[in-house]
Structure 1
Amino acid sequence: MRSRIRAIGLALALAWITCAFAALVLPSPAIAALEETEILDALDKVSEDPNLSPERKIRTLRWLDDRKQSERRKSGWISWLEGLFQWIGGASRLLLWIAIVILVALLAVFLKRVFSGISYTPQAQTPQAPTHVQEMDIRPESLPDDIGGAALRLWEQNEHRAALALLYRGLLSRLVHSHAVPIRESTTEADCLTLAAPRLRADITEYTTQLVRVWQHAVYGARKPAESEVRALCVGFNRNFPLAAQPAEGAS
């Protein structure tokens, strides 16, 4: 800065000396014109001199900074990844519920396939045959093989109630053990007829109904049946209910 000021002062001094010299040599009008032009030219030269100008333009070469460019590229990927993780973090709850729903649906489908392949067939439990009905022993071993003949002998021996009781006991035993009629200990005479009808043939059903009616009239009505009627029941018992009888048509 000081060198510039000194140069400007030296140029002004030279211009002043030139003007003074011209004033001594040239006439006054010419001196005035020369003085003005010389001063302007001197100032222009001084301003054009790069060494005396207060401003300078300097051009320099610089290497490109590769690190900054790589950092910019990296910053672009990093910002994208940051945005991705932020989106995942915001949608994590929704994704979790979607995953739970899918797992539950898959589990339901799996369980449905597993249980659909399992068929449950309840085993039919065969009811145990009763040993007594209304306090009457109906076990086969408690009865004679020829029930009709044994009942007829009791009737002829004037043991009328015992003869009718033997026929009725034999009827219940054969219905339970030969025809699988679901008779229980508390089954009444009317229930016996209702349960036996679907499992017997028509002729056997008619015989059973007649025997039950004779039994009811004798026990509950105190009415003695005709001897011919009792003989017919005794003779027909073994024909309708033989000892080794198989279940009749319609029996299950």
Structure 2
Amino acid sequence: MRLNDASVVIRPRSTWEAMDLGVLLSQRHRRLLMTSWALLTLPLFALLSWGLWDSPSLAVLIFWWLKPAFDRLPLYILSKAMFGEPPTLKQALRQWPRLLKGQLLASLTWRRLSLQRSFVMPVAQLEGLDGQQRQQRLEVLLQRDAGAARWLTIIGAHLEGALWIGLMVLFYLLLPQQVALDWSWQSLISAATQDWRWLEHLTNLFYALVLVVWEPIYVACGFSLYLNRRTVLEAWDIELVFRRMRQRLISASGVLLIAVMLLMSPAHSVWAAEPAISPDSPRLLDQPLNTQVARDGIKTILEQPPFKNREAVTRYRFSEDPPGAQASGDGQTPQWLKSLLQLFEGQHFRALANLIEIALWGIVIGAVGLLIWRYRDWVQAFVSRRPTLDVKAVRPLPQQAFGLDLKPESLPADIAARAESLWQSHPREALGLLYRALLSRLSHDFNIALEAADTEGQVLQRIEQLQQPALLAYSKNLTGHWQGMAYGHRLPPEQVRQELCDGWRVLFDPEAFH
């Protein structure tokens, strides 16, 4: 890494200023970044859509899940362009398979949902660190700027959604006016009931196009945060200042050498004129300082802070202990506790902790999946984009009402003729047959849901909802005579027999009436 060749000014920045630098860096190389991303991702998206045509949601989910693998290409381009060596499009695409070799499985599994993904990705790809070294490096890097990296991912996710919706709205607004007049979202949804998959694949394509624009910016912002953090930790700006000073000194070394040579000869004469200083010289012997005074002065200094800090300690002791005695090992950590802590800090326990963490994440994901499966009907009703048809629950038809058998097979073929034959000797049975046949027709032919607890008045109210005046008038007439016979034991007049039987033939058996 040659800091002198950096294409931007190396200096410490705030987190938001660093992300702004990433946006500017992506704009400077936008043609290479967007073209390489499109050539890499769009063919794969088309392949996923073709292979999973019946599952558009699964296709876009797989495409979204593979984003960390795609992000390695813009990071490679930015890392080269940052120090004055931007690759060509052909070179970048050729390098992408090699970039996938390092820690790809980890990037697509337990690290996939990390909110600091763009910030920590250069550690594995550019520094090549893995395992314990990577963990130690991340502990240092994430002490600062981790919050900004999380906010970058959160804001980026919302921005992706906004751009996705905006692109769909723009597509609708760009439709020709003649098409827009004959086309609405209602007609689109009704058409999608037969073949709705093209609509989902179209919206998925809009998402892929949004990533062509946004994802390189996201990677560039994370990369600039990483560079800013390293600038603060490793003092790159100070190193650059010293390098420039060294270059200036090297360029002026000839002049300095001549100046030193000219000043050397007068200096020798001055040094020769000075008398030699020895331990027996009068200047040293006449000083009032002696060994005892020096010892006392040194002792006084050592008795004061920071060399000695006196501290009053209060503790409990037994009465037989001398006042000046202290418990052995007071203020020190027990050896067994030190050994236990060292054991927990070992590599085996860290690996065990990682396994436990993976198991816990698996339990959480499994629990979420179980909840989704448990409430899949609710999720499908409120989340699924597939239009659903209203399916009314089919209720079983009642077999009896008012103690009367309503099954069609229990009725005679010619109900009116049978009622006329029964009227002379058994008028109650004749009226019961007509009323039972009426209820059976209402239940089976008109799909009126009759309840066992319904009264005659409630049945008439439901017939009124059918908005058939002839049926309503006949039902009221028959119900009135049936109630008079069943509850009042009043025989209907003779002309009622012909009126009810003819009315039945008109409503339910018009061929027999003619």
TM over 0.5: yes
Q: Which amino acid is the alignment partner of residue 141 of structure 1? A: E
| 1:83 matched to 2:12 | yes
Q: CA deviation at 1:120?
A: 2.7
Q: CA deviation at 1:110?
A: 7.3
| Residue among 490, 497, 503 paired with 1:223 | 490
| 1:120 matched to 2:120 | no
| 1:240 matched to 2:507 | yes
Residue number in structure 1 paired with 2:423:
155
For the residue of structure 1 that corresponds to 2:464, the secondary structure is helix
CA RMSD of aligned residues (A): 3.6
Q: CA deviation at 1:197?
A: 2.0
Q: CA deviation at 1:119?
A: 1.9
In the superposition, relative to structure 1, how do residues 110 and 85 fare at CA in structure 2: closer, same or farther (>3 Å)? closer
Query: Could you tell me whether the CA contact under 8 Å between 1:193 and 1:209 is conserved in 2?
Result: yes
Q: CA deviation at 1:194?
A: 0.9
Question: 1: CA distance between counterparts of 2:494 and 2:146?
Answer: 99
In the superposition, relative to structure 1, how do residues 85 and 105 fare at CA in structure 2: closer, same or farther (>3 Å)? closer
Residue number in structure 1 paired with 2:457:
190
Q: Residue deviations 1:200-226, cap 9 Å, x none?
A: 532222111100111111112222211
User: Larger radius of gyration, structure 1 or 2?
Assistant: 1
Q: Residue deviations 1:109-165, cap 9 Å, x none?
A: 8799785732233312233321111221011110001111111211112x1211111
Query: Could you tell me whether the CA contact under 8 Å between 1:145 and 1:243 is conserved in 2?
Result: no
Identical counterparts, % of pairs: 27
| Residue among 158, 161, 180 paired with 2:447 | 180
The within-5 A match list for 1:46-57 is none
| Residue among 84, 88, 95 paired with 2:149 | 95
Residue number in structure 1 paired with 2:479:
212
Query: Could you tell me whether the CA contact under 8 Å between 1:148 and 1:236 is conserved in 2?
Result: no
Q: Which amino acid is the alignment partner of residue 143 of structure 1? A: L
Residue number in structure 2 paired with 1:166:
433
In the superposition, relative to structure 1, how do residues 108 and 212 fare at CA in structure 2: closer, same or farther (>3 Å)? farther
The within-5 A match list for 1:12-161 is 81=10, 83=12, 90-103=144-157, 106=160, 115=383, 117-157=385-425, 159-161=426-428
Unpaired runs of 5+ in structure 1?
1-73, 245-252
Question: 2: CA distance between counterparts of 1:110 and 1:223?
Answer: 77
In the superposition, relative to structure 1, how do residues 227 and 105 fare at CA in structure 2: closer, same or farther (>3 Å)? farther
Corresponding residue pairs, total? 169
- After TM superposition, the score normalised by the length of structure 1 is 0.55
Question: 2: CA distance between counterparts of 1:145 and 1:195?
Answer: 26
Q: CA deviation at 1:229?
A: 1.2
Deviating above 4 A after TM superposition, structure 1's stretches of 4 or more consecutive aligned residues are: 84-90, 107-116
Mean alpha-carbon deviation: is it higher for 195-204 or for 129-138? 195-204
- After TM superposition, the score normalised by the length of structure 2 is 0.29
Mean alpha-carbon deviation: is it higher for 116-125 or for 211-220? 116-125
For the residue of structure 1 that corresponds to 2:447, the secondary structure is coil
Q: Which amino acid is the alignment partner of residue 394 of structure 2? A: T
In the superposition, relative to structure 1, how do residues 140 and 110 fare at CA in structure 2: closer, same or farther (>3 Å)? farther
In the superposition, relative to structure 1, how do residues 216 and 102 fare at CA in structure 2: closer, same or farther (>3 Å)? same
Q: CA deviation at 1:81?
A: 4.9
For the residue of structure 2 that corresponds to 1:240, the secondary structure is helix
| Residue among 192, 199, 202 paired with 2:466 | 199
Q: CA deviation at 1:242?
A: 2.0
In the superposition, relative to structure 1, how do residues 120 and 106 fare at CA in structure 2: closer, same or farther (>3 Å)? farther
In the superposition, relative to structure 1, how do residues 176 and 95 fare at CA in structure 2: closer, same or farther (>3 Å)? same
Question: 2: CA distance between counterparts of 1:145 and 1:183?
Answer: 23
For the residue of structure 2 that corresponds to 1:190, the secondary structure is helix
Q: Which amino acid is the alignment partner of residue 123 of structure 1? A: V
For the residue of structure 1 that corresponds to 2:12, the secondary structure is helix
Question: 1: CA distance between counterparts of 2:14 and 2:469?
Answer: 88
In the superposition, relative to structure 1, how do residues 222 and 105 fare at CA in structure 2: closer, same or farther (>3 Å)? farther
Q: CA deviation at 1:166?
A: 0.5
Question: 2: CA distance between counterparts of 1:231 and 1:124?
Answer: 41
Q: CA deviation at 1:199?
A: 2.1
